[in-house]
Amino acid sequence: MKKYSLAIVLVLFVFCVPLVFTEIANSYKEPFNILDNPLPSLVLTVFSLVLITLAWVLVMALKKVELLQNEKDGVTPEVASSSFMTWWRQLMQKWTKSKSMEQESEIVLDHNYDGIRELDNTLPPWWVYMFYASILFAIVYLVRFEVFDGDTPEMEYKKAVAEARASLEKYKETATDLIDASTVTLLTDEKDLKRGKAVFNLNCAACHLADGGGSIGPNLTDEYWILGGGIKNVYTTISEGGRDGKGMISWKNTLKPQDMAKVASYVLSLQGTTPATAKKAEGDLWKEE
């Protein structure tokens, strides 16, 4: 029973790990990006190492069996030599077809160039097969790129970049939370300004008055700005707050970026209106560049 339990564990291991692995790999977007997801690569490496160790143990065990058998049959170790070395030598012979020094007389050519002689070696099979493989490659290459006009790596790259750009644009369109001081634009849409007005009346009117005339906070309807005019500066002021101790707090933790953009646009839409009680202008005259 003990004999089998090890075998069962091994079989389970060999079958289950790939199953678990595909499960893991499926749940990741880029399973083989080692930097982002080291786990799949780690599992694969450990699994391969275990398999290699198993194979090695098996080979050693087989060798041991052969040795014991030889001992039983009375074969001396020299005759048996290492089966691995014999296999290796045969393999080399098969792939190089080289003649040993003793056999050179069989292939030496008749010519004798001032004592220099030449061997008529056959082409080594490893080289010949590589040559055939390159012919095959050339045919595939020719058909793919010359006949069917396949994409060169440069074209593939350009296509991939264009695709990535397009999907980025699409993402930006839907993800309005990406607005920040550098990307914010003046909104003129009726709906956006209405939303901006609602946000303003709720959060800002206490200090700036509903018509922007100003009380604790400065007048927002004139062309003079303490912290800079224009959509980008106004957005920054709302998001980051005014100078320390003046009373204008940072709103970025209270308001969503879209709402800050809308209220900033609404504030700018008040330019040139005449509030009921206008506070004296503060700051510098702002000219849009």
CB of 272 to ligand HEC, least distance (A): 15
Query: Which class for 139: exposed (0-12), middle (13-18), buried (19 or more C-beta within 10 A)?
Result: exposed
Using the contact rule CB under 6 A, the part of the chain among 15-23, 52-60, 119-127, 215-223 near ligand HEC is 215-223
Binding of ligand HEC by 285 (CB under 6 A)? no
Distance separating alpha carbons of residues 198 and 4, to the nearest angstrom: 76
Amino acid identity at 191: K
Nearer to ligand HEC, 50 or 207 (CB): 207
Length of the chain, please? Answer: 289
| Closer by beta carbon to ligand HEC, 55 or else 202 | 202
Is the CB of 24 or the CB of 255 nearer to ligand HEC? 255
Nearer to ligand HEC, 136 or 216 (CB): 216
Name the one range near ligand HEC by CB under 6 A: 27-35, 48-56, 129-137, 230-238.
230-238
**Candidate ranges 16-24, 44-52, 157-165, 218-226; the one touching ligand HEC (CB under 6 A):** 218-226
Which one among 251, 261, 262, 265 touches ligand HEC, defined by CB under 6 A?
251
Distances (CA, A) of 59 to 53, 91, 280: 10, 18, 94
- 243 in contact with ligand HEC (CB under 6 A): yes
Quick one: 172 or 243, whose CB is closer to ligand HEC? Answer: 243
Please report, as ranges, the residues that interact with ligand HEC according to CB under 6 A: 200, 203-204, 206-208, 216-218, 220, 225-227, 234, 237-238, 242-243, 246-248, 251, 263, 267, 283
